[in-house]
Amino acid sequence: MGVDVLDFVAMRLSGPRPGDLHLQRFSVPFEYPVIFEGGALEPESSALAWAIARREPERRHPFCAVLDEGLLRATPGLDERVRRYAERHADVLELRSDPIRVPGGEAAKGDPALIGALHAAFAKARLDRQAVVLVIGGGAVLDAVGYAASSVHRGLRVVRMPSTVLSQCDGGVGVKTSVNAFSSKNFLGSFAPPYAVVNDRTLLATLPLREARAGMAEAVKVALIRDAAFFEWLSENATALAEARPEPLLSLVRRAALLHLEHIANAGDPFELGSARPLDYGHWSAHRLEIASGHELRHGEAVAIGMLLDARYAERSG
Ligand SMILES: NC(=O)c1ccc[n+]([C@@H]2O[C@H](COP(=O)([O-])OP(=O)(O)OC[C@H]3O[C@@H](n4cnc5c(N)ncnc54)[C@H](O)[C@@H]3O)[C@@H](O)[C@H]2O)c1
Ligand SMILES: [Zn+2]
């Protein structure tokens, strides 16, 4: 059962109150589109341009693109495709720099110098708060670039194109950014909802099987906390999913993404002020396992082990 954010704040104010008290209270609605699109970087696809320009279609939108180097290695020419896309949609898009490359995977979250380098690149490109950072990559790159962007002018517009199963069904559609520090996973971070998300299934074609399987753990997690029928479906399709067959994989990504979104919007605690944090099921041990393995364990693999530990613990403790 979720706790409404305002109720949560009010709860903290219970007990004797100071006599001269003004209670400041306001809420800001958040809204971002999550678009499921195949071939979003093909020049003729308008989804990405729409996502960036939708609020002010009459002007050009300055943007920088940041690309995951692991993805780029698997998809040579991706930087050129971003350039061509910007040219084709030059009525609304203005690419302000060459696409910026960042190391893929946990390396992106473990190097403080990278955050500084991104800040410098955004400054050089003269991005203001109405400008956009387009980030294309796995969950780690999305987390690190989102964190850097959230502190420039107190928050640039970030448009995400997640490129892994995990990030398309979980982190990429959510509201959090982070990097690792002081031997602690996600020690630095911010709540920074994206400006838009484009989930492009064609990006998953090059993903190694191990990464695809690991990412499915977050789908199992959200099924366990929110949707028994989805859990049944996952069990029934386990063999095809373990081979990452495109059709069931796409259903998994879509359903898991929508469940995550639904949870964030409607469970009453989008910015995790309370301590329940059901989306972190299996994660307390997962984060420690990731660190202890020197990030040899993928995040999804660690979550799978963490859920097993929690389930066994729950069973044994009755
Ligand atoms: N912000 C959130 O809410 C949230 C939620 C869940 C997980 N996360 C974070 O996400 C991270 C894990 O992300 P992940 O599982 O997406 O993996 P990842 O970002 O670690 O990427 C794994 C590897 O795949 C490469 N890669 C990415 N896309 C590729 C593609 N299409 N083809 C080939 N290679 C590709 C990367 O370069 C990297 O080497 C963890 O740091 C975790 O903490 C964040
Ligand atoms: Zn996770």
118/305 Cα distance (integer angstroms): 34
Q: pLDDT tens digits, the chain, 318 residues: what are they? A: 445 555 555 556 677 888 889 999 999 999 999 999 999 999 999 999 999 999 999 999 999 999 999 999 999 999 999 999 999 999 999 999 999 999 999 999 999 999 999 999 999 999 999 999 999 999 999 999 999 999 999 999 999 999 999 999 999 999 999 999 999 999 999 999 999 999 999 999 999 999 999 999 999 999 999 999 999 999 999 999 999 999 999 999 999 999 999 999 999 999 999 888 888 999 999 999 999 999 999 999 999 999 999 999 999 999
pTM comes to: 0.95
Q: Looking at ligand 1, which residue's alpha carbon is closest to its atom 29? A: 71
* Amino acid residing at 4: D
Asked if residues 162 and 171 have their Cβ atoms less than 8 Å apart, the reply is: yes
Tell me how far the alpha carbon of residue 77 lies from the centroid of ligand 1, in angstroms: 20
Task: Indicate the burial class of 225 (C-beta count within 10 angstroms; 0-12, 13-18, 19 or more).
Answer: middle
Helix H or strand E segment including 196:
strand 196-200
Give how far Cα 189 sits from Cα of 56, 143, 179, Å. Answer: 29, 8, 6
Query: 3-class SS at 138?
Result: coil
Q: Tell which atom from ligand 1 comes closest to the C-alpha of 174.
A: 3
For residue 277, the model assigns a pLDDT of: 87
Residue 169: name the closest of 255, 68, 239 by CA: 255
Collect all residues with Cβ–Cβ distance below 8 Å to 140 and sequence separation of at least 6: 104, 105, 106, 107, 108, 109
Tell me the backbone φ, ψ of residue 270, rounded to 5 degrees. Answer: -60, -30
Q: Determine the distance separating the centroid of ligand 2 and the alpha carbon of 303, expressed in angstroms.
A: 6
Q: Tell me what pLDDT residue 10 has.
A: 58
Which residue's alpha carbon is at the smallest distance from atom 10 of ligand 1?
Answer: 139
Nearest Cα residue to atom 15 of ligand 1:
166
Q: State whether the beta carbon of 171 lies less than 6 angstroms from ligand 1.
A: yes
Q: Residue 222: CB partners within 8 Å, gap ≥ 6? A: 169, 170, 230, 256, 259, 260, 263, 279
CA-to-CA separations, 167 to 125, 175, 195, 207, in angstroms, rounded: 27, 12, 16, 12
Residue-wise burial string across 239-252, b where 16 or more C-beta atoms lie within 10 A, e elsewhere: eebeebeeebbbbb
Q: Which of 175, 180, 170 is nearest to 294 (CA)?
A: 180
Structural contact between residues 40 and 168, judged by C-beta atoms closer than 8 angstroms: no
Tokens of 201: 């299934």
